[in-house]
Amino acid sequence: MNVRSFLARKRQGKKISMVTCYDASFARVLNETEVDCLLVGDSLAMVIYGYPTTVHATLEMMVRHTEAVRRGAPDKMIIADMPFLSMQQGKAHAVHAAGELIRAGADAVKVEGWKGIEEEIAHLVQAGIPVMGHLGLTPQFYYAFGGFRVQGRDEASRTYILEGAGRLEALGCFGIVLECIPSGLARVVTERISIPTIGIGAGSDTDGQVLVLYDLGGVGLEKPFRFVRRYAEVGLAVKEAVDRFVEDVVEGRFPTREESFEDE
């Protein structure tokens, strides 16, 4: 999978699958699956580091985790998030940050929003860095939105998303993530532009779907978002496994003679 084949999928009417991954261990597992591409998301600030929002993800974090995912998944297309404010400090800063992510192993970068950063997006594309856009609920705008809220329900937000999709396509983006917007709006965007749309909480009419691996695998016992489908309960399985381990330790059942080294 690469940018050209990514674009070809839309023309062929074939859905694109994407999973968010943060580390080499899970990346090795995903490298053996049929998933099309991996996203090293700035959501790692929340999922891995326990912060309340994604704005705490730094470029150093994103580079470190992109390197880890690339080492674990050498055969997959990898897209890395541009962290908070990396696009708002001028073209030189943007191309430096994106360059670091590409050198770390990403095949492309993803940017949130579009107004105020159009020149920076164009500059990245002109520098040979593939760029994916992100509209709707853009988590880096958490404080501006007043929380994690569905976008595109009012006329102003709907217009911003529709206009933004056209602008991102014109600027040279090869795809757009649509997050937490009404399915009807996602369908309109998908039909209007020639580049693929990847949905998350945006209905089934986008050109592909993305979920966080931890969410779809049930890692973590908190209640998932309504748009998350859990395909496994890994978190529960780990909890039960650890409880069995503790019980075996307390009762003296672990380790057995076969699991121990004897004196020669």
What confidence tens digit (pLDDT) does each residue in 80-135 have?
A: 999 999 999 999 999 999 999 999 999 999 999 999 999 999 999 999 999 999 99
DSSP state of 202: S
C-alpha 56/C-alpha 63 separation (Å) is 14
Tell me, letter by letter, the H, E, C secondary structure of 160-171: HHHHHHHHHHHH
Known binding-site residue numbers for Mg(2+): 42, 81, 112
Buried b / exposed e over 197-230, threshold 16 CB at 10 Å, is bbbbbbbebbbbbbbbbbbbbbbeeeeeeebbee
Residue 172, judged by CB atoms within 10 A of its CB (0-12, 13-18, 19+), counts as: middle
Q: Does residue 179 carry a catalytic annotation?
A: yes
Known binding-site residue numbers: 42-43, 81, 110, 112
Q: Would you place residue 262 in the very low, low, confident or very high pLDDT band (cuts 50, 70, 90)?
A: confident
What the chain holds in terms of domains, given with CATH numbers, is 3-232 (3.20.20.60)
DSSP state of 132: E
- pLDDT for residue 221: 59
Any bridge partners for residue 205, and if so which?
Answer: none
Asked if residues 139 and 54 have their Cβ atoms less than 8 Å apart, the reply is yes
Three-class SS of residue 71? helix
What DSSP element (H or E) covers 77? strand 77-81
* Block residue for tokens 């023309």: 11
Give the mean pLDDT of 54-79: 98
In sequence order, what are the residues at sequence separation of 6 or more whose Cβ sits closer than 8 angstroms to the Cβ of residue 205?
183, 186, 187, 190, 199
Cα angle: 149, vertex 154, 155; to 5 degrees: 140
DSSP state of 255: S
Residue 222 has pLDDT above 80, yes or no: no
Any bridge partners for residue 175, and if so which?
Answer: 132
Give the mean pLDDT of 168-184: 98
Using CA atoms of 52, 58, 61, 65 in order, give the dihedral in degrees to the nearest 10.
Answer: 80
Known binding-site residue numbers for 3-methyl-2-oxobutanoate: 42-43, 81, 110
The catalytically annotated residue of 179, 247, 259, 264 is: 179
Residue 223 has pLDDT above 80, yes or no: no
The structure's pTM equals 0.95
In sequence order, what are the residues at sequence separation of 6 or more whose Cβ sits closer than 8 angstroms to the Cβ of residue 154?
none
What confidence tens digit (pLDDT) does each residue in 21-43 have?
A: 999 999 999 999 999 999 999 99
Q: What is the mean pLDDT of the chain?
A: 96
